Amino acid sequence: MQIRLDWLETFVLVARLKSMKAAAEVLSLSAGAISQRIRALEERAGYRLFQRQGGGIALTHEAELLLSDLAPAFETINRAWARIDGAEALARQRLTVSTMPSFANFVLVPRLGSFSQHFPQVEVNVETDLRVVDLHTEPVDIAIRHGLGDYPGLVATPLISPSLIVVGSLDLIAKHGPLKRAADCLALPLLHDHTRQDWRLWFEAHGVATPDRLKGPAFSDGTLIVRAAVAGQGLGLVREFYAAEELESGRLIRALDVSWPSRFGYYLVATAEALQRPVVRAFRNWLVEEMATLEREAEKAA
C-alpha cells in the first residue's frame, strides 16, 4: 500500500494554519494543488476533514483525531529532515530575528532553548524593535509582525492569533464595581496600545458604540500595558499569555468574562530569497510547531 506522505503533510499544515492559502505559501504550491490533495485524502478516508466557518475553515471531529495521530510524527520528521537538508549549511550559521519586545519577552525567548537543542550550531540574534524593518535592505533574516498578514513582496507564515482579554487590578475593580458587559468598560480608565485601535475594535466586535476619542494613556508595548494594569491605572486589553504570570499570582484578574479572538495575528515574515537558506526554513518550521503547541495548550486550559 502506497503511503501518500505529501497528502498527510498537506493536511497537517492546513489543519494547523487553518488556511489552505497559508499552507500553499509554506509548501510553494498553488491553492488549487492544496485543494486537490485535501480532496484526494478525504476520498481515501471516506469522510470530510474541513468545513467552512466564518471567513476560514474548521476541523471536523474526524480531522481532530487524525491530527492528534499525525502531529507528533511530522514534528519528528521535520526535525530530522531539517538536519538532513542543511546539516552542513547550518554549521556556524547566524540568524537574526526582529520582533516586538512583548512577543520576544513572553513567547519567543522562553522557547529558544528548544531551537538551540535541535540546532546547537546556529547563533540566533533576537532584536526587539517597534519599527518595521526593511527585510530587503537590512541585515535581518526574519521578522515577526502583528497584523493582517498582508506584506507585499514578502512571504508571510501565520503563527498564532491569540484572543484579547480584559484585565484589571483587584483594587480597580473593587472601586468601580464588577463588570457584566462590554459597555461597562467605558466607565473605567482604559489602557491603549500605541495604535489606539485595539479597544475600539473590541467594542465594535461586541456591538458597543464608542465616542470619537477614547481617553486613557497609550503604550508602545503590551508589557507596559500589563504593568500599568497591575498598578491600577486602568483596564488592559491584552493577549492572555502576556498577563499569565500576573493572573496566576492574583496581581491581575480577568475583569470581564468575555473574550474576542483578535482579527489580527502574529506572522513570521521573510523574503523569498531568505527562505532559500536552510537555517531560515529550519527556524520557521520550528516556530510554527512551537506556536501550534502553544495554541493546543491554551485550548486545553480553556
Residue 298, domain CATH: 3.40.190.10
Which of the two residues, 230 and 77, has the higher pLDDT score?
A: 230
Residues 13 and 36 in one domain: yes
At 39 the pLDDT is 92
Which range (27-41, 79-93, 168-182, 202-216) has the least confidence?
Answer: 79-93
User: Is the predicted pLDDT of residue 43 greater than 60, yes or no?
Assistant: yes
Region of 175 on the Ramachandran plot (φ > 0 left; ψ -120 to 50 alpha; else beta): alpha
Closest listed residue to residue 217, CA positions, set 231, 233, 239: 233
At 240 the pLDDT is 80
At 17 the pLDDT is 82
0.85 exceeded by pTM: no
Residues 140 and 96 in one domain: yes
Which of the two residues, 55 and 43, has the higher pLDDT score?
A: 43
At 143 the pLDDT is 96
Residues 21 and 76 in one domain: yes
User: Is the predicted pLDDT of residue 262 greater than 70, yes or no?
Assistant: no
Closest listed residue to residue 95, CA positions, set 275, 271, 283, 268: 283
Residues 240 and 153 in one domain: no
Mean pLDDT score, 154-180:
90
Residues 142 and 274 in one domain: yes
Report the domain count for the chain. Answer: 3
Q: Are 101 and 128 in contact (CB under 8 A)?
A: yes
Q: Are 118 and 82 in contact (CB under 8 A)?
A: yes
Residues 65 and 136 in one domain: no
At 225 the pLDDT is 93
Residues 291 and 228 in one domain: no
Residues 288 and 273 in one domain: yes
User: Is the predicted pLDDT of residue 88 greater than 70, yes or no?
Assistant: no
Q: Single out the residue in 38, 63, 87 at which a domain terminates.
A: 87
At 251 the pLDDT is 95
Cell of 184: 461597562
Region of 278 on the Ramachandran plot (φ > 0 left; ψ -120 to 50 alpha; else beta): alpha
Residues 144 and 100 in one domain: yes
User: Is the predicted pLDDT of residue 91 greater than 60, yes or no?
Assistant: no
Question: Binning pLDDT at 50, 70 and 90, where does residue 92 land?
Answer: low
Q: Single out the residue in 33, 63, 87 at which a domain terminates.
A: 87
Which of the two residues, 119 and 89, has the higher pLDDT score?
A: 119
What average pLDDT does the chain have?
86
Which of the two residues, 217 and 102, has the higher pLDDT score?
A: 217
Strand-pairing partners, residue 260, are 164
Q: Which residue type occupies 280?
A: V
Q: Are 85 and 118 in contact (CB under 8 A)?
A: no
At 191 the pLDDT is 96
What is the percent of the chain with per-residue pLDDT over 70, rounded to a whole number? 92
Strand-pairing partners, residue 236, are 167, 191
Three-class secondary structure of residue 258 per DSSP = coil
At 136 the pLDDT is 92
Question: Binning pLDDT at 50, 70 and 90, where does residue 233 land?
Answer: very high
Mean pLDDT score, 253-262:
77
Residues 170 and 254 in one domain: yes
Q: Single out the residue in 66, 87, 108 at which a domain terminates.
A: 87
Domain hosting 132: range is 91-158+264-302
Question: Binning pLDDT at 50, 70 and 90, where does residue 300 land?
Answer: low
Question: Binning pLDDT at 50, 70 and 90, where does residue 162 land?
Answer: confident
Residues 135 and 269 in one domain: yes
Closest listed residue to residue 287, CA positions, set 151, 148, 160, 117: 160
CATH code, domain carrying 33? 1.10.10.10
Closest listed residue to residue 167, CA positions, set 201, 202, 191: 191
Mean pLDDT score, 166-180:
93
Mean pLDDT score, 8-21:
86
Q: Are 7 and 40 in contact (CB under 8 A)?
A: yes
C-alpha–C-alpha distance, residues 55 and 57, integer Å: 7
Residues 65 and 35 in one domain: yes
